[in-house]
Amino acid sequence: MTTTTVRKRAATGALLGLALGDALGFPTEFDDVPSILAKCGPWREMELPRRAFVSDDTQMTLAVARALRTAMDRGLLVPDRLEPPLREEFVDWYRSPENNRAPGRTCLTACDLLEDDGRLWQDAGQIGSKGCGANMRVAPLGLAPGLSDEQRAGAAQLQSGLTHGHPTALAASDLTAHAVRLLAEGAEPTGLVGLLRSYALDNRTRYHHRWLGDLWTRSQDPTPEHFIARGWDDCLGVLERLQEALRSPSPETDPCLATGEGWIAEEALATGLLCFLLFPDEPVTALRRAACSAGDSDSIACLAGAFAGAYAGSDAWPTEWADRIEHRSELVTLGALWDH
C-alpha cells in the first residue's frame, strides 16, 4: 500500500462512497429522470434519505469483503481459499431476512444452487448472465492491500463466476476492481480511460485457468481465449462510448443516454465512471448525478461512489451523511483494516 492511499484513507472513502451512492440511488432505481426530478427536486440538491438504507449492492459488497478478509487471514489468497468463504457469504446473504432490497434475479438463482455443497460453483453461476450484479460488489478487490495483479484479477473474476458466469461479467468485474485500484493509488482521472483501455487490450485473450477452472466449457465458445475475449470486447466497446461522451461532456443530461442504463455489467461500469469523471473533484455531485439517472440508479451510484471515494479518500463525504449510512460501523472497520 502506498503512502498516498494510507494518508487519504482510500479504502474507507471507497466503501463509504459505494454505500452512500447505493442509498441515494435506491429510492430512484426504477424511475426515469422526469419522475426523479418531480419526486426529489433539482438533482444537484438531492438529499440522502433520513434513514439511509442500502440495497443488495452494498449487502453483497460486504459479503465479498468479509469473504476476502477471511481468506486473507488464512494465508496467501488462492482460489481454494477464497471460494468456500465466498460461497458461504453469498448463501448467508440469500437466506438473510434483510435480503429484501430488490435483489437481482441472477444472484437469487445462483445462490439457490450454491447452497448445495456438492455442486461445483461453475455449475451454479449463470453462464448467460451479464447483469451488473457481479461488478457492483467487486470494489473490495481493488482496496485490499498486498494483492498481486494476478490475484486481484483472478479473484475479481472468480467472485463474479459464482453468480454471473458470462465473460462480460467476468471482464467488467476485473476492470472495475482495476479502476478502483488505480484511483486509490492516485491515478489521474484524465488518464483513467486510457489506462483501462490498455488493461483490457493486454488481458483480452487471457483466461485465468487457475481461478476459473473449466467454467468456459459451459459456453458455446471453441476455446477459453475466445470465451474471455467476448467479455473484453464488450468492455472495450463501452469504453469507446465513454471516451466519446467525455469529449463533449453534458453534465445536465441523463448520463444513461451516453453509456447505457447500467442493467448490464459493462454499462454499469461505464456510466458509473462517467458520473465520476464528469465531476472528479465534486464527489457528492457525482453521486447525485448517478442517482438521478434513468437506469439502474443504485448500482450506477454505488460504482460512482466507489471510484470517487477511492480517488478522494474518506474526506470526500459529508460527515452527516457518512454518520447515518446503514452498516456504517462495518464499512469503517473494513476500511480501517485496509487503509493501514
Which residues contribute to the site for Mg ion (CB under 5 A)? 55-57, 298
Using alpha carbons, select from 114, 134, 125 the residue that is nearest to residue 56: 134
Residue 110 CB, shortest distance to Mg ion, in Å, is: 16
Using alpha carbons, select from 27, 93, 5 the residue that is nearest to residue 301: 27
The CA distance from 286 to 74, in Å, is: 37
Element (H, E) at 46: none
Residue 301 CB, shortest distance to Mg ion, in Å, is: 10
Residue closest to Mg ion when measured from CB atoms = 55
- CB nearer to Mg ion: give 203 or 293: 293
DSSP string of 115-174?
A: TSTTS-GGGTSBTT--BTTTTTT-HHHHHSTT--HHHHHHHHHHHHHTTB-SHHHHHHHH
User: Cβ contacts of residue 191 below 8 Å, gap of 6+?
Assistant: none
Q: Which cell goes with 172?
A: 467488467
Residue 334 CB, shortest distance to Mg ion, in Å, is: 19
- CB nearer to Mg ion: give 57 or 254: 57
Q: Read off the amino acid at residue 186.
A: G
User: Cβ contacts of residue 160 below 8 Å, gap of 6+?
Assistant: 125, 134, 135, 138, 169, 170, 172, 173
Residue 239 CB, shortest distance to Mg ion, in Å, is: 24
Residue 64 CB, shortest distance to Mg ion, in Å, is: 14
- CB nearer to Mg ion: give 57 or 326: 57
Residue 9 CB, shortest distance to Mg ion, in Å, is: 25
User: Cβ contacts of residue 190 below 8 Å, gap of 6+?
Assistant: none
- CB nearer to Mg ion: give 154 or 305: 305
Alpha helical stretches, state H, the chain: 3-8, 10-25, 33-40, 56-73, 79-95, 105-114, 139-143, 149-161, 167-184, 189-203, 209-212, 224-247, 256-259, 265-278, 283-291, 297-312, 319-322, 328-339
Residue 16 CB, shortest distance to Mg ion, in Å, is: 17
Residue 305 CB, shortest distance to Mg ion, in Å, is: 13
- CB nearer to Mg ion: give 18 or 192: 18
- CB nearer to Mg ion: give 151 or 297: 297
- CB nearer to Mg ion: give 153 or 300: 300
Cα atoms in the 13 Å half-sphere on the side-chain side of 234: 23
User: Cβ contacts of residue 258 below 8 Å, gap of 6+?
Assistant: 241, 242, 244, 245, 250, 271, 274
- CB nearer to Mg ion: give 56 or 261: 56
